[in-house]
């Protein structure tokens, strides 16, 4: 009876789908919806993303185009939708393919109504899964399988290898043909990890109220906005000592550069604990500085890279401070969502949360 009432409730609310696509999903996926609601995907529009809005206001002074909407708020047709679900659940789960283009890739959406894509390894060979109920013990125990609202296709390879993310998270060229995103994550069949396994890891809790499952893919999007330390496991840090000093080696296991987004900044902090005292060395900054005509510029004006200290596969930083026996070296790799210089330029310097250093990983070494 409860399942029947739930199905009836969903059907009666189908008329509100266009106004609030993701809200409909909440009925059967409350945990996933809660994660999504606090995610950067739900906060990616001009109405919610302060950095995006600040850059947009600057760009608006020289052009009336807003091509960023294609990725920042593809689902939004109204201001309310832009605030509540700029990238809706339905949008991501109907991406059928990715068209590759020089300027930026494009998501190709399915035109099948209530026919969504998802990934589940043991169902991958099934083209389409429909709602069904089973009963046992002479009908006393009834179980539901799959969704009464939509069909699910589990055989789209893009949802397993992470390519479903590459429509927006690959590259975006400005009007001068300069890439301002620069992720270009290379996805290979040999890769152990993908965009999805790193940024949407399996976490405890049932994916739906219709049946119990121990885990589900995390929809809060683990990254620099949430659960940053969880990504630290994909970064290795080691130290080599020599007669002149020491070298910190950072090995990046991700299939893209770290801190490549516009205005992003990585920070390596190194402290020596010696005889009970803390000696802080000069922080090393990882960033990509945009430029035009040899001077720093806004992303939409950029034609060149003036400086690139990003972490690609491996980065080694040399220090000329000699280590002594008994020294302890504390190394912290962190980041700022936006550098202090950029925050001042965009008039965001009063928002300390944007320039606050957040930690990805801390390691300690004894000598």
Alpha helices in 13-144 (DSSP H): 21-26, 30-37, 50-60, 69-72, 79-84, 89-92
User: Domains of the chain by range and CATH?
Assistant: 2-217 (no CATH), 228-366 (2.60.40)
Q: Say what the pLDDT of residue 140 is.
A: 55
Alpha helices in the chain (DSSP H): 2-12, 21-26, 30-37, 50-60, 69-72, 79-84, 89-92, 158-161, 195-199, 340-345, 352-355
Is residue 304 within 8 Å of residue 292, measured between CB atoms?
yes
Average pLDDT value for the chain:
88
Quick: pLDDT tens for 309-358.
Answer: 999 999 999 999 999 999 999 999 999 999 999 999 999 999 999 999 99
The residues with which 151 forms a beta bridge, in sequence order, are 115
Q: Say what the pLDDT of residue 150 is.
A: 86
130 pLDDT exceeds 70? no
Alpha carbons 210 and 147: distance in angstroms, whole number: 7
Quick: pLDDT tens for 170-223.
Answer: 999 999 999 988 776 665 666 778 899 999 999 999 999 888 889 999 999 999
The closest alpha carbon to 268, from 259, 278, 260, belongs to 259
Half-sphere exposure of 47 (CA within 13 A, CB side): 15
pLDDT interval class at 132 (50, 70, 90)? low
111 pLDDT exceeds 50? yes
């Amino acid at each position: 009876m409860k399942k029947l009432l739930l199905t009836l409730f969903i059907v009666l609310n189908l008329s509100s789908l266009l106004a609030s696509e993701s809200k409909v999903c909440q009925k059967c996926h409350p945990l996933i919806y809660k994660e999504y609601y606090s995610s950067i995907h739900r906060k990616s529009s001009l109405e919610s993303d302060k950095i995006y809005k600040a850059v947009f206001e600057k760009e608006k002074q020289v052009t009336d185009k807003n091509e960023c909407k294609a990725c920042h708020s593809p689902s939004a047709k109204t201001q309310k939708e832009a605030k509540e679900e700029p990238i809706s659940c339905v949008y991501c789960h109907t991406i059928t393919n990715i068209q590759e283009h020089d300027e930026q890739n494009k998501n190709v959406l399915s035109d099948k109504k209530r026919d969504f894509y998802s990934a589940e390894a043991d169902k991958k060979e099934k083209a389409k899964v429909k709602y069904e109920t089973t009963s046992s013990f002479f009908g006393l125990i009834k179980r539901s399988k799959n969704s009464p609202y939509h069909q699910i296709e589990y055989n789209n390879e893009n949802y397993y290898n992470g390519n479903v993310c590459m429509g927006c998270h690959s590259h975006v060229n400005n009007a001068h043909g300069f890439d301002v995103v620069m992720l270009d994550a290379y996805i290979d069949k040999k890769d152990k990890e993908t965009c999805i396994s790193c940024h949407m890891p399996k976490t405890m809790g049932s994916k739906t109220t219709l049946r119990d499952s121990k885990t589900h893919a995390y929809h809060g999007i683990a990254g620099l906005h949430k659960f940053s330390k969880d990504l630290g496991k994909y970064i290795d840090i080691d130290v080599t000592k020599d007669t002149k000093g020491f070298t910190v080696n950072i090995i990046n296991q991700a299939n893209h550069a770290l801190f490549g987004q516009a205005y992003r900044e990585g920070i390596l902090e190194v402290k020596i604990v010696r005889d009970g005292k803390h000696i802080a060395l000069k922080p090393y900054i990882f960033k990509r500085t945009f430029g035009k005509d040899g001077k720093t510029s806004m992303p939409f004006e950029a034609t060149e890279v003036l400086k690139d200290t990003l972490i690609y596969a491996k980065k080694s930083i040399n220090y000329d401070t000699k280590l002594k026996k008994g020294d302890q070296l504390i190394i912290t790799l962190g980041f700022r969502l936006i550098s202090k210089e950029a925050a001042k330029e965009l008039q965001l310097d009063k928002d300390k949360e944007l320039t606050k250093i957040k930690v990805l990983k801390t390691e300690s070494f004894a000598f």
